[in-house]
Amino acid sequence: MVGTPQVVNISDLRSLAKRRLPRAVFDYIDGGAEDEVTLRENCRVFDHVTFRPHNAVSTPSCDLRTTVLGTTLELPFLLAPVGSSRLFFPQGEVVAAREAGAAGTAYILSTFSGCRLEDVKAATTGAAWYQLYLAGGREVATQAIRRAQAAGYSALVVTIDTPVAGLRERDVRNGIKELATRNLFTMLPFVGQILMRPNWLAGFLGDGGLMSFPNVVLPGKGPMPYADVGAALEQAVVSWRDLAWIRREWSGRIIVKGVLTNTDARIAIDEGADGVVVSNHGGRQLDGVSSTLRALPEVVEAVNGRIEVLFDGGIRRGSDIIKAICLGARAVLIGRAYAYGLAAAGGPGVARAIEILRTDLVRTLKLLGCPSISSLAPSFIENSRSARLFPN
Ligand SMILES: Cc1cc2nc3c(=O)[nH]c(=O)nc-3n(C[C@H](O)[C@H](O)[C@H](O)COP(=O)(O)O)c2cc1C
């Protein structure tokens, strides 16, 4: 079902996901904030980076391995934290983590996941990182940090671009808030889209219905209910000062996700981060903020090799990954690219997304005359500082 000729690229997985999911769930994955300007820009800007191949060079095999914070990965991309994956497919986070491990790469689990962090770690043979929001407050986050440490997560990813949930207008129109109330009367105007997707509905009900958040355990109340996310984010905003106590609680690596400027990159280093992710949350938070590829050179320059720079946003092809690495990213995170696969077909869909990007990478390296990810250099693309690269 996810093989050729039906599925040739990530966009084909997106189409399958759209067919399987209720509109509210598909748009939750696919959509961005407000006018979706940044969402579109994240993808569009890759079109303006042109390659400079070394032709007449034979590269019989291509080495895709890279090392990120001391861990060797078979691929130069990791699976980004994607909240609520359990809504896309039964046991979604467990399923995605398993496929990441099978492909030799790492999975990053969102705080807002529907599966227990211990179960997700146990499902993968690869590295797992835990993405932290302070939802529920410092005590609740501390419990999650301790659990993640005990379960064997090797890095903590602190997301700093979400002091409030972005306005995703598609979600409002589709009745996400109303559907989360579990009140039949409130839900009624929006349930039609769900009844039209019986396959998805059967899986959803078989998996226990609307998930709660088992890694956000509120004292005396248990797992945080789905409907409480927005309020929880606003009540527990991460600030730079939090990095100090997070570092005391967590003995592994810390990565700050959501850096877009040289100023924030420098502060992250001063606060002891081991890495940063140049990210605008896939255009889901501040609309009108720079596309991430455009922000990458500024951050790479400010970091100046002191810590590792990762990148995400808009990756839909292996050639996008190569462009980001040429511009200084150590590796990239993919978000929607695998989420579409998960939503389209569960584990085989995630595996297909990974395979599409893997074969893209090998083909593109060969066409560039470059034997490995570690040999990529700025010289393989047009000068990143030229105005021609990023026209307005
Ligand atoms: C449906 C969805 C849910 C997300 N949830 C989270 C999250 O819980 N925490 C987080 O740090 N980032 C979250 N992100 C952002 C991703 O980690 C990543 O930054 C983004 O998807 C990259 O852009 P891309 O989707 O174009 O690859 C989410 C993204 C999507 C699409």
Residue 390 — pLDDT band, cuts 50, 70, 90?
Answer: low
Q: For residue range 32-59, what is the model confidence (pLDDT) as tens digits?
A: 999 999 999 999 999 999 999 999 999 9
Name the more confident of 343 and 384: 343
Which residue from 263, 253, 258, 266 is spatially nearest to 238, judged by alpha carbons? 258
- Whole-number Å distance, alpha carbon 370 to ligand 1 midpoint, is 30
Instruction: Tell how strand 213-218 and strand 222-224 pair up.
Output: antiparallel
Structure token digits, residue 302: 């400010």
- Average pLDDT estimate for 294-302: 98
Strand, helix or coil for residue 365: helix
Q: Which atom of ligand 1 is nearest to the CA of 283?
A: 23
Determine which helix (DSSP H) or strand (DSSP E) holds 273, and give its type and residue range: none
Nearest CA to ligand 1 atom 15: 281
Nearest CA to ligand 1 atom 12: 81
Instruction: Please say whether the dihedral angle defined by the alpha carbons of residues 223, 227, 229 and 232, taken in this order, is positive or negative.
Output: negative
* pLDDT at residue number 385: 54
Virtual torsion, Cα 198, 204, 209, 210, nearest 10 deg:
-100
Share of the chain above pLDDT 70, in %: 97
Q: Which atom of ligand 1 is nearest to the CA of 108?
A: 17
Q: Decide if 107 contacts 79 (C-beta within 8 A).
A: yes
Q: Decide if 12 contacts 349 (C-beta within 8 A).
A: no
Q: Decide if 273 contacts 255 (C-beta within 8 A).
A: yes
Nearest CA to ligand 1 atom 29: 82
Residue 182 — pLDDT band, cuts 50, 70, 90?
Answer: confident
- Average pLDDT estimate for 172-192: 94
Q: What is the DSSP letter of 256?
A: E
- Average pLDDT estimate for 260-278: 98
Max CA distance (Å), the chain: 67
- Whole-number Å distance, alpha carbon 2 to ligand 1 midpoint, is 23
CA distance 40 to 272: 33
- CATH level 3 topology of 10-377: TIM Barrel (3.20.20)
Q: Which atom of ligand 1 is nearest to the CA of 157?
A: 11
Q: Decide if 292 contacts 313 (C-beta within 8 A).
A: yes
- Whole-number Å distance, alpha carbon 335 to ligand 1 midpoint, is 5
- Whole-number Å distance, alpha carbon 312 to ligand 1 midpoint, is 9
Mutate to test the pocket of ligand 1, among 284, 285, 310, 317 (most ligand atoms within 8 A of CB): 284
**Residue that is written with structure tokens 């599966």 in the block:** 115
Residue 388 — pLDDT band, cuts 50, 70, 90?
Answer: very low
> Which residues, other chains included, contact 243 with Cβ-Cβ below 8 Å and sequence gap of 6+?
158, 254, 256, 271, 272, 273
> Which residues, other chains included, contact 239 with Cβ-Cβ below 8 Å and sequence gap of 6+?
none
Residue 353 — pLDDT band, cuts 50, 70, 90?
Answer: very high
- Whole-number Å distance, alpha carbon 80 to ligand 1 midpoint, is 6
Where along the chain do its domains lie? 10-377
Q: Which atom of ligand 1 is nearest to the CA of 110?
A: 8
Q: Any alpha helices (H) in the chain, and if so which ranges?
A: 10-20, 23-30, 37-44, 85-88, 92-102, 117-123, 138-151, 169-174, 176-179, 184-187, 192-195, 198-206, 229-235, 242-249, 262-270, 292-303, 318-326, 336-345, 347-368
Using CB distances shorter than 6 Å, the residues near ligand 1 are 28-29, 42, 80-83, 110, 112, 131, 159, 257, 279, 281-282, 284, 312-315, 333-337, 339
* pLDDT at residue number 28: 98
Q: What is the DSSP letter of 63?
A: B
Mutate to test the pocket of ligand 1, among 82, 134, 237, 320 (most ligand atoms within 8 A of CB): 82
* pLDDT at residue number 387: 43
Q: Which atom of ligand 1 is nearest to the CA of 43?
A: 26
Give the chain's mean pLDDT.
Answer: 96
Residue 384 pLDDT > 60, yes or no? Answer: no
Residue 391 pLDDT > 90, yes or no? Answer: no
Q: For residue range 205-229, what is the model confidence (pLDDT) as tens digits?
A: 999 999 999 999 999 999 999 998 8
> Which residues, other chains included, contact 35 with Cβ-Cβ below 8 Å and sequence gap of 6+?
287
Instruction: Please say whether the dihedral angle defined by the alpha carbons of residues 240, 277, 272 and 153, taken in this order, is positive or negative.
Output: positive
- Average pLDDT estimate for 107-131: 98
Residues classed as catalytic: 281
CA distance 192 to 197: 9
Name the more confident of 161 and 391: 161
Strand, helix or coil for residue 284: coil
In this predicted structure, which of 240-249, 259-268, 383-392 has the lowest mean pLDDT?
Answer: 383-392
